[in-house]
Amino acid sequence: MWQRQRWCCVLEPVRPITLGEIRDARKRIAGTIVRTPLVRLELGPGSPDVRLKLENLQPINAYKLRGAANAVALLSDAERRRGVWTISAGNAGQGVAYAARAAGVPCTVVAIETAPAAKLERMRALGAKLVLVPYAVAWQALDDRSYPGVEGTFIHPFDDQNFITGHATMGLEILEDAPDTAAIIAAIGGGGLITGVASAVKALRPEIKVWGAEPETAAPAALSFAKGSAQVFSDWKATFVDGAGGKSVFPRMWQRMQPVVDGYIVVSLDETKRAMRLMAEKARVIAEGAGALGLAAALTGKAGPGPIVAIVSGGNIDLEKFSELITAAV
């Protein structure tokens, strides 16, 4: 393991995201992102009332473009000249690469070597230079905020105020399109998505419940909520749900999440596969594993009868893998 270089980064103290910041971000990124549709999933009598927020329809097929577009837009001229870099299993890397290319800024991604080929290919196609590393090395680099030989302005894929504020713009759209929403469910990976959405929602409609969803094989947020502090998930396993469920909750992200998130729902891999299949059958939506966690959690009934907004966070999955997974769903 390389020597940690924490001296390289002076971190802004964790603080709430204001409604004014979110509204400013919305204007800032409007020309880059898509205002994605919110569609009702017809599940039949006795099922929860579920609406899908289709972030898989962003230009990079994932919500991460919101945060990346905001973070890149706020770079100084000097930072733009230095270039940017991030750490990613695929979607954050695509978001930063897309926003950087649009701004004429060089981009490097320290990418997890086991990420789906489709995600790696998309990052390269967007002009990013890739440095492939094992998952554990990438997770450590996220904590260190440095990686040997990689230079430029680091954009953290979740513990970054500007990144999270970009994601929060989704909350404004949800409340405008579905003012009767009773609950919102978002996958938890690093925690940036749920923190952003919850920050917007709680500022405007504090009675709406915001739930996090994780796979049973990687559920550090559930453990953290159960114990009341940031936890490491010792039984972590790599699965097809590669875009959510980390090895731990970073203490700074726990500080961000805990005040605005109401709780968690852990789902099985089989439940996630069934949700992927259901979306494909009922709505013709292709969701990656992480993108199906919200629906899988809604179908457990733990978030109530609805209306529930399940955020489809992304659809970046190899089609062969997608076909294999939904065929295996029972």
Domain of 188: which CATH number? 3.40.50.1100
5 assigned to some structural domain: no
Domain shared by 48 and 95, yes or no: no
Domain shared by 273 and 142, yes or no: no
10 assigned to some structural domain: no
Q: How far apart are CA 277 and CA 282, in angstroms?
A: 8
14 assigned to some structural domain: no
This prediction has a pTM of 0.92
Domain shared by 194 and 322, yes or no: yes
**Residue in 195, 194, 262 with CA at minimum distance from that of residue 225:** 262
Domain shared by 130 and 167, yes or no: no
Domain shared by 30 and 76, yes or no: no
183 assigned to some structural domain: yes
48 assigned to some structural domain: yes
253: phi > 0 → left, psi -120 to 50 → alpha, else beta; which?
Answer: alpha
Domain boundary at 154, 173, 195, which? 154
185 assigned to some structural domain: yes
Q: How does pLDDT run along the chain (330 residues), one tens digit per residue? A: 333 333 345 788 999 999 999 999 999 999 999 999 999 999 988 899 999 999 999 999 999 999 999 999 999 999 999 999 999 988 899 999 999 999 999 999 999 998 888 889 999 999 999 999 998 899 899 889 999 999 999 999 989 999 999 999 999 999 999 999 999 999 999 999 999 999 999 999 999 999 999 999 999 999 999 999 999 999 999 899 988 888 899 999 999 999 999 999 999 999 999 999 999 999 999 999 999 999 999 999 999 998 999 999 999 898 999 999 999 887
Q: How far apart are CA 282 and CA 291, in angstroms?
A: 15
Q: Which residues of 151-183 are buried (b: 16+ CB within 10 A; e: fewer)?
A: ebbbbbbbbbbbbbbbbbbbbbbbbebbeebbb
Give the helix ranges, DSSP H, for the chain: 19-29, 64-73, 77-82, 91-103, 117-125, 135-144, 161-177, 192-204, 220-227, 251-257, 269-283, 289-298, 319-328
Residue 70 has phi, psi (to 5 degrees) of: -70, -45
Domain extent, residue 147, equals 65-154
Domain shared by 45 and 32, yes or no: yes
Q: Which two tokens stand for residue 20?
A: 């004014």
**Residue in 325, 310, 326, 321 with CA at minimum distance from that of residue 55:** 310
271 assigned to some structural domain: yes
The pLDDT of residue 188 is 95
Domain shared by 149 and 180, yes or no: no
Q: How far apart are CA 317 and CA 191, in angstroms?
A: 21
One-character DSSP codes across 36-73: --EEEE---TTS--EEEEEGGGSTTSBTHHHHHHHHHH
8 assigned to some structural domain: no
Total of domains in the chain: 2
Contacts of 231 (CB under 8 A, 6+ apart): 220, 223, 224, 248, 249
